Structure 1
Amino acid sequence: MKVIYFDTETTGLNSKFDRIIELAMLTVEDGEIKDEYDKFVNIGRDLPAKITQITGITNDDLILKGESEAHIAEDLKNNLTPDTLMIAHNCQFDLSFVYSLLERHYPNEAYEIVSNLKWIDTVTVLKDRKEFPHKLIDAVKYYGIEEVNFHRAIDDTKALYNVTQALKEERNDLKEYINLFGYNPKYEVKNKFPFIKYKKQFFTKRMVDSDKILRRK
């Protein structure tokens, strides 16, 4: 099976108006890392100062090292082949941005591309395993994984790969979470996708029993 661990850095939280400024994908096939993809995106406008402060990404990075959004969209289209398993931490966020980017450049194909993939959100898995908080840096600490430069997409992706292996070793039930995203019942999910099942997920103090994971509740 082809698995892509992926992460985005963006100009903000709204996938309709904000843009991806860095995209990273770690492609694994038959258990081996086959490709590391990490590219800046030249979005043709200045970054908010707050984003530079959080990520360390500058306008010069995007201008001098970035590629056009059209080129990134083409790379996505070529890499996101049907039945590929896509894994991200807070996957709804990254999926929304990937879809919006594809929709701008391939309006007649974008939905088919993303709906033919399989999606796992490691935040959803983590909430069935550990108490709050559930950020990627928290997962790294929970499982004793070496810390990386968080808020840079390629480093987050490598950390995500290690976290996913730890989750699998802890309890091998990740397939139960395919196309299942948990969400905080205090907040409504925006930009829902029909191929994803959304379920209210409450905080837990410990790893839930195998018959009580989100899929089976």
Structure 2
Amino acid sequence: MKVIYFDTETTGLDCRDCQIIELAMITVIEGKIVDEYDRFIKVDGKLPPRITEITGITDQMLDDDGFDEAKIAEDLRQRLTPNTLMIAHNAQFDLSFVYSLLQRYYPDADEILSKMDWLDTLTVLKDRKKYPHKLIDGVKHYGIQEVNFHRAIDDTRALMDVTRAMINERPDLEEYINIFGFNPKFGVSGPIFPFIEYKKQYYNNFMVSSGNILPKK
């Protein structure tokens, strides 16, 4: 089985008018890491100061080490083979930006992404621990060594460790594939993807029973 853990850093929150500035992917096949990918992406204009403050990524870093967006889209296209399991924390966000990126270069972006499977560890974490549910909260909850959060490759490594801890904790992770929970107060952010089932998800103060997880509601 091929699994890709991935994360993005972006110029803002809205995929319609913001861009990815860093994309990281760790590809695992049959339990072994076969590829680690981390690229800066050149963007139009200057970075918002707040983004540099959060991520530590500067305009100079993108100018010196960034790749053209078309090249990143090509790299993505090569890796997104059918039936690959894509894993992200708050996957709706990262999927939305990946979709917007691919759409600018490939007219069949919808078809490409529909042939993948998607797992959102945020949705899982909301069923397993009380609020809050950021990736750093999952890292602390499972006793994983902390990393330089808000840099895509470090977040991706932490994501992989959190996912493995979740697998060891309880064997129901597969039931969350292609199911994204969302806060009904705010609704689904970004595009609605037909290959994802969206379900209302409220906060829990404890790990829910195996018969009461979101996929079974």
The TM-score by the shorter chain falls in which range?
over 0.9
Post-superposition CA distance 1:38-82 (Å, at most 9, x none): 000011321000000000000011110000000000000000000
SS in structure 2 opposite 1:101?
Answer: helix
Counterparts of 1:28 and 1:9, CA distance in 2 = 21
- Structure 2: segments with no counterpart, 5+ residues: none
The TM-score with structure 2 as length reference comes to 0.99
What is the percentage of aligned positions where both structures have the same residue?
A: 64
Q: Using the TM superposition, give the Cα deviation of residue 89 of structure 1 relative to its aligned residue in structure 2, in angstroms.
A: 0.2
Q: Does 1:118 align with 2:117?
A: yes
Deviation sequence 1:160-205 (CA, Å, 0-9, x none) = 0000000000001111000000011101113110110000001111
Task: Using the TM superposition, give the Cα deviation of residue 140 of structure 1 relative to its aligned residue in structure 2, in angstroms.
Answer: 0.3
Equivalent residue, structure 2, for 1:9? 9
> Stretches of 4+ moved more than 2 A in 1?
none
Within-5 A mapping of 1:71-150: 71-106=71-106, 108-150=107-149
Distance 2:44 2:192 in 1: 28
Give the aligned partner of residue 33 of structure 2.
33
> Hey, what's the Cα distance between the residues in 2 that align with 1:46 and 1:204?
40
Q: How large is the Cα RMSD of the aligned pairs? A: 0.6
Q: Provide the secondary structure at the position in 2 that maps to 1:148.
A: coil
**How far 1:119 moved relative to its partner?**
0.1
Equivalenced residue count is 216
* TM-superposition CA deviations, 1:103-128 (whole Å, max 9, x none): 0111x210011111000000000000
1:197 maps to which residue? Answer: 197
SS at structure 2 position matched to 1:42: coil
Question: 1:2-50 CA deviation, whole Å, 9 max, x = no partner?
Answer: 0000000000000010000000000000001111000000113210000
2:181 partner amino acid: G
In the alignment, the residues of structure 2 paired with residue 192 and residue 90 of structure 1 have an alpha-carbon distance, to the nearest angstrom, of: 14
